[in-house]
């Protein structure tokens, strides 16, 4: 008898499992779905009419991946920067660096002259170099036979050109001002610059030109690449994921009719969901391009859950009757899971990062649209195409039956080890994310646009070289408002020059450019010395000359509010080398202002730091709050939903163990592998929690369904048998979809794809291990006694 007991102990009583396979009917939902299936042709016609305008709307969605436009429009710093740009409409700036063994040698100067001549014919682009300035001040010397040596003497007598990155050891710089209104005009201007380089014999570089290399540096080059790559990434990963879905769905259900029903529904759900963004006026950014993939992955998982219940067709039951029952049986679980995912993304509205907020709203509404499509169009196509059940066509995943019988007892035996190991990894993951005071700093952040460029590309290498050897890549503007008319007062100009000198003394500052810098350069060219005059008479004469220069020099007018003469600004660029900490550059400007704020020449004046560098700092400051606030808001709403639907708070809290385990463990992996937080990877928590909760919802729904008059072991076996196949294949779909992002050339997208796919697999692992183990502990239950064995 003892031997028989050992054998029967391995399996729960099969009769109970058969009883659990016939859940109660749904008197409200079944008539509802019977009506939907009856109107199947009406639904098909309605969706056929919606597809063409939706497709047109999707194709009209613009691209907008610039980093400085990532802050929400209600942010005070964004509002201030926009007001500054309206008063001082700065063009987009870039720089061409022409490297040469001797940049002042005749061949190099000749190449520079050819380039400037070609650039002069480019619409919307103004080019400035040390040679340009020299020509304006001394045309005869600049165009004479000894132009190179004359320029060398002129440029070496002042540090102005070196500070601006126009002259350096082994190179000359050409500053480009792009007066463009949008991405299309910018891209057209950059293409014209490339053609000008080719006309000058610098693309590719000709050996006789004296130039050895041309580096392209600046935000316009980075933004153009980001937008192109964002669009290309979608074209790469969508076809791959589509093939993956086709192979997986056909391999699972082994039916072309089922495959057609799922693919058609999926296409309509994703198309209509993405079209929501067009109605809201959104654009594709570096992260909101994830919306189509997220909608596709989530809708595919829902369809797999629905069709897995559909093919679980018991013999002797008409398929029409079983289809209605399957829809009603999965309605609550699918609805709650989609709601959980939508809430997860909707929680991103707390973010002050505009693309993250838009991603949340867009995805949440798209998921709601997909939910409607899954419960209307999909049942219609199932019936029209006569998708077979398992009675007609055997489906894959037969091993689930065996696993459903073995996992409950195995998880009971190792319950404390499984739960303890999961808790330990979660604690380590939390420490990796938030840091440990005195031992470990929080996870590093990335917000600079260059951080999102592949490090093997020339644009990254050129920009990094420039930032390490010439000037920093971050800059802000010090916007100074004075009483009307005071900007041209001699005392104000002297105080502004002292402010510029105070800025230059800050360790974070590499260079500044303002009114007084240009005035000092003109004094240097006139042989009066570069220093700003200190005697009142000379200052008064300089101020009087400035009034006349404003009428003739557009470059000077750009630094003054010519309507009121009550505002000006200085451009402040970070020091070369290691990038300063976020907020360090704005803080340096504030410190320098504090030193001169009491100057009589600045009476009634105020300072406001604005610009891209400030917005990048604000984005960095919003990354962790976005992660934490959205995560806890998502978790709280999902928990409340579970409590309302399943009416047991403590047990449902345990249902979140797999998601929490996966998320926190992946933060530990990110820390160990050096993956930082950025605008893409901060979405891991919300994405995984919202999407992987689908599995826990379905598991718990059938677990509770199985607990009606049955033991914990039988309920676990029932949940694993009914939901296990769908959980397994839905996880493969989720992981495969996000793994396709590894084809992107955007490092954050590759990182997001790898980490998110891994998190989904970890969540599934916890579904089949830590979750059953935790339920054994919570219910204080024991496995059922086998035949001839005491409980």
DSSP string spanning 436-484? BTTTBPPPPB--SGGGGS-TTSHHHHHHHHHHHHT--S-EEEEEEE-ST
pLDDT recorded at residue 275: 95
Comparing 128 with 3, the larger pLDDT belongs to 128
Lowest-confidence range among 198-207, 230-239, 350-359, 381-390?
A: 230-239
Comparing 346 with 75, the larger pLDDT belongs to 346
Q: Using the structure block, give the residue that is written with the tokens 């259900």.
A: 253
State the pLDDT confidence band at 790, using cuts at 50, 70 and 90.
Answer: very low
Four-CA torsion 474, 475, 476, 480, nearest 10 degrees: 160
Comparing 780 with 71, the larger pLDDT belongs to 780
Of 565, 687, 578, 591, nearest in space to 630 by CA: 687
pLDDT recorded at residue 171: 93
Q: 445 pLDDT exceeds 50?
A: yes
Top mean-pLDDT range of 172-181, 437-446, 530-539: 172-181
The pLDDT tens digits of the residues spanning 44-102 come to 999 999 999 999 999 888 876 555 566 667 778 778 888 888 888 878 889 999 999 99
Of 297, 352, 356, nearest in space to 679 by CA: 356
Contact 253, 245 (CB under 8 A): no
pLDDT recorded at residue 701: 76
pLDDT recorded at residue 10: 39
pLDDT recorded at residue 263: 92
Q: 20 pLDDT exceeds 50?
A: no
Contact 657, 635 (CB under 8 A): no
Question: How far are the Cα atoms of 128, 140, 175, 300, 646 from residue 161, in angstroms, in the given order?
Answer: 11, 20, 11, 59, 70
Asked if the peptide bond before residue 204 counts as cis, ω within 30 degrees of 0, the response is: yes
Q: Give residue 64's Cα distance to chain centre.
A: 12
pLDDT recorded at residue 281: 87
Instruction: Please give the Cα distance from 425 to 348 (Å, whole number).
Output: 26
- Provide, rounded to the nearest whole percent, the portion of the chain with pLDDT above 90: 26
Sequence-distant (≥ 6) Cβ neighbours of residue 319 within 8 angstroms: 313, 389
Instruction: Please give the Cα distance from 382 to 33 (Å, whole number).
Output: 13
Q: 731 pLDDT exceeds 90?
A: no
- Torsion angles phi and psi, residue 296, rounded to 5: -65, -45
pLDDT recorded at residue 455: 79
438: left (phi over 0), alpha (psi -120 to 50) or beta: left
Contact 676, 682 (CB under 8 A): no
Q: 675 pLDDT exceeds 70?
A: yes
The pLDDT tens digits of the residues spanning 732-749 come to 877 887 887 777 777 777
Say whether 74 sits in a helix, a strand or coil.
coil
- Provide, rounded to the nearest whole percent, the portion of the chain with pLDDT above 70: 85
pLDDT recorded at residue 687: 74
Instruction: Please give the Cα distance from 733 to 306 (Å, whole number).
Output: 15
pLDDT recorded at residue 644: 65
The two three-digit tokens of residue 663, written as one number: 């998320």
Q: Give residue 8's Cα distance to chain centre.
A: 53
pLDDT recorded at residue 72: 65
Q: Rg for the chain (alpha carbons), in Å? A: 33
pLDDT recorded at residue 594: 93
Of 771, 680, 681, nearest in space to 719 by CA: 771
Sign of the CA dihedral running 25, 26, 32, 37: negative
Lowest-confidence range among 14-23, 101-110, 236-245, 628-637?
A: 14-23
Top mean-pLDDT range of 80-94, 215-229, 439-453, 489-503: 489-503
Question: How far are the Cα atoms of 295, 572, 579, 625, 746 from residue 451, in angstroms, in the given order?
Answer: 27, 21, 12, 20, 9
pLDDT recorded at residue 628: 65
pLDDT recorded at residue 442: 82
pLDDT recorded at residue 302: 87
Lowest-confidence range among 101-110, 134-143, 594-603?
A: 134-143
Of 718, 681, 676, nearest in space to 700 by CA: 718
Contact 745, 233 (CB under 8 A): yes
Taken as a whole, the chain contains a residue count of 791
Instruction: Please give the Cα distance from 39 to 176 (Å, whole number).
Output: 63
DSSP string spanning 747-770? HHHHHHHHHHHHHHHHHHHHHHTH
Q: Kindly report the number of other CB atoms within 10 A of residue 624's CB atom.
A: 16
Mean pLDDT for the stretch of residues 135-144: 82
Q: 269 pLDDT exceeds 90?
A: yes
The pLDDT tens digits of the residues spanning 750-761 come to 888 888 888 889
Vertex 189 angle, CA 185 and 195, to 5° = 145
Mean pLDDT for the stretch of residues 551-577: 85
pLDDT recorded at residue 497: 92
The pLDDT tens digits of the residues spanning 207-228 come to 667 889 999 998 888 888 877 7
Contact 134, 146 (CB under 8 A): no
Say whether 675 sits in a helix, a strand or coil.
coil
Instruction: Please give the Cα distance from 11 to 398 (Å, whole number).
Output: 17
State the pLDDT confidence band at 650, using cuts at 50, 70 and 90.
Answer: low
- Beta bridge pairs of residue 216: 96
State the pLDDT confidence band at 6, using cuts at 50, 70 and 90.
Answer: very low
The two three-digit tokens of residue 242, written as one number: 């589509």
Q: 791 pLDDT exceeds 50?
A: no
Mean pLDDT of the chain: 82
Instruction: Please give the Cα distance from 223 to 534 (Å, whole number).
Output: 44
Of 622, 630, 628, nearest in space to 363 by CA: 630
Say whether 284 sits in a helix, a strand or coil.
strand
Mean pLDDT for the stretch of residues 122-139: 88
The two three-digit tokens of residue 559, written as one number: 């630094």
Of 715, 728, 713, 732, nearest in space to 767 by CA: 728
State the pLDDT confidence band at 7, using cuts at 50, 70 and 90.
Answer: very low
Q: Kindly report the number of other CB atoms within 10 A of residue 508's CB atom.
A: 20
Instruction: Please give the Cα distance from 549 to 561 (Å, whole number).
Output: 14
The pLDDT tens digits of the residues spanning 232-247 come to 766 666 777 778 788 8
Question: How far are the Cα atoms of 418, 692, 768 from residue 424, in angstroms, in the given order?
Answer: 10, 21, 18
State the pLDDT confidence band at 624, using cuts at 50, 70 and 90.
Answer: low
Of 375, 368, 373, nearest in space to 328 by CA: 375
Mean pLDDT for the stretch of residues 287-304: 82
Instruction: Please give the Cα distance from 781 to 775 (Å, whole number).
Output: 9
pLDDT recorded at residue 319: 85
State the pLDDT confidence band at 623, using cuts at 50, 70 and 90.
Answer: low
Contact 659, 692 (CB under 8 A): yes
């Amino acid at each position: 008898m003892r031997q028989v007991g050992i054998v029967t102990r391995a399996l729960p009583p099969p009769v109970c499992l058969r009883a659990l396979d016939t859940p109660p009917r749904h008197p409200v939902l079944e008539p509802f779905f019977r009506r939907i299936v009856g109107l199947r042709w009406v639904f098909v016609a309605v969706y056929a009419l919606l597809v063409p305008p939706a497709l047109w709307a999707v194709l009209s969605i613009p691209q907008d991946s610039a980093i400085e436009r990532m802050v929400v429009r209600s942010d005070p710093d964004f509002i201030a920067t926009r007001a500054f740009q309206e008063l001082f409409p700065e063009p987009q700036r870039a720089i061409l660096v022409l490297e040469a063994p001797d940049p002042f040698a005749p061949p190099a100067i000749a190449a520079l002259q050819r380039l400037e001549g070609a650039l002069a014919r480019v619409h919307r682009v103004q080019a400035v170099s040390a040679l340009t300035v020299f020509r304006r001040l001394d045309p005869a010397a600049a165009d004479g036979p000894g132009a190179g040596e004359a320029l060398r003497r002129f440029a070496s007598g002042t540090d102005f050109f070196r500070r601006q990155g126009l002259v350096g050891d082994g190179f000359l710089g050409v500053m480009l001002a792009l007066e463009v209104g949008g991405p299309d005009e910018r891209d057209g201007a950059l293409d014209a610059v490339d053609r000008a380089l080719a006309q000058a014999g610098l693309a590719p570089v000709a050996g006789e030109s004296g130039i050895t290399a041309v580096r392209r540096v600046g935000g316009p080059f980075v933004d153009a690449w980001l937008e192109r790559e964002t669009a290309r990434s979608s074209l790469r990963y969508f076809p791959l994921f589509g093939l993956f879905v086709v192979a997986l769905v056909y391999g699972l259900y082994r039916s072309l009719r089922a495959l057609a029903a799922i693919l058609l529904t999926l296409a309509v759900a994703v198309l209509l969901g993405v079209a929501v963004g067009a109605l809201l006026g959104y654009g594709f950014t570096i992260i909101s391009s994830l919306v189509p993939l997220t909608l596709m992955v989530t809708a595919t998982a829902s369809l797999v859950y629905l069709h897995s219940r559909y093919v679980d067709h018991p013999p002797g039951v008409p398929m029409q009757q079983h289809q209605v029952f399957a829809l009603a049986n999965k309605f609550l679980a699918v609805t709650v899971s989609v709601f959980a995912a939508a809430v997860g993304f909707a929680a991103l509205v707390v973010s002050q990062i505009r693309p993250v907020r838009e991603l949340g709203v867009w995805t949440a509404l798209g998921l709601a649209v997909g939910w409607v499509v899954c419960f209307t169009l999909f049942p219609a196509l199932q019936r029209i195409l006569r998708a077979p059940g398992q009675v007609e066509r055997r489906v894959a995943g037969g091993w689930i039956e065996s696993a459903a019988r073995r996992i409950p007892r195995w998880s009971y035996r190792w319950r404390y080890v499984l739960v303890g190991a999961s808790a330990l990894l979660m604690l380590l993951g939390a420490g990796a994310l938030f840091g440990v005071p005195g031992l470990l700093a929080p996870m590093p952040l990335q917000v600079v646009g260059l951080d999102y460029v592949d490090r093997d590309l020339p644009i990254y290498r050129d920009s990094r070289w420039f930032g390490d050897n010439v000037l920093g890549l971050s800059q802000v503007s010090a916007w100074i408002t004075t009483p009307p008319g005071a900007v041209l007062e001699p005392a104000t100009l002297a105080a502004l020059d002292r402010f510029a000198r105070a800025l230059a003394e800050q360790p974070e500052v590499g260079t500044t450019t303002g009114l007084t810098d240009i005035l000092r350069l003109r004094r240097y060219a006139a042989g009066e010395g570069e220093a700003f005059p200190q005697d009142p008479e000379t200052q008064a004469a300089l101020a009087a000359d400035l009034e006349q220069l404003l009428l003739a020099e557009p470059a000077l007018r750009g630094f003054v509010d010519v309507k009121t003469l009550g505002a000006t600004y200085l451009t402040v660029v970070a020091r070369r080398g290691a990038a300063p900490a976020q907020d360090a550059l704005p803080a340096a400007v504030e410190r320098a202002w504090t030193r001169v704020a009491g100057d009589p020449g600045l009476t009634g004046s105020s300072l406001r730091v604005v610009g891209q560098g400030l917005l990048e700092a604000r984005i960095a400051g919003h990354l962790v709050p976005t992660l934490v606030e959205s995560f806890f808001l998502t978790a709280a709403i999902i928990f409340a939903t579970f409590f309302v639907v399943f009416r047991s708070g403590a047990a449902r809290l345990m249902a979140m163990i797999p998601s929490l385990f996966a998320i926190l463990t992946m933060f530990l992996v990110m820390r160990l592998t050096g993956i930082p937080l950025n605008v893409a990877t901060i979405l891991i928590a919300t994405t995984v929690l919202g999407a992987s909760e689908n599995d826990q919802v379905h598991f718990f729904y059938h677990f509770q369904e199985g607990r009606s008059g049955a033991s914990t072991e039988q309920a676990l076996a029932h949940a694993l048998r009914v939901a296990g196949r769908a959980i397994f294949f839905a996880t493969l779909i989720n992981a495969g979809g996000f793994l396709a992002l590894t084809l992107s050339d955007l490092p954050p997208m590759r990182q997001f794809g790898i980490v998110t796919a891994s998190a989904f697999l970890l969540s599934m692992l916890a579904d089949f291990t830590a979750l059953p183990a935790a339920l054994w502990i919570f219910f204080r239950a024991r496995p059922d006694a086998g035949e001839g064995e005491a409980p």
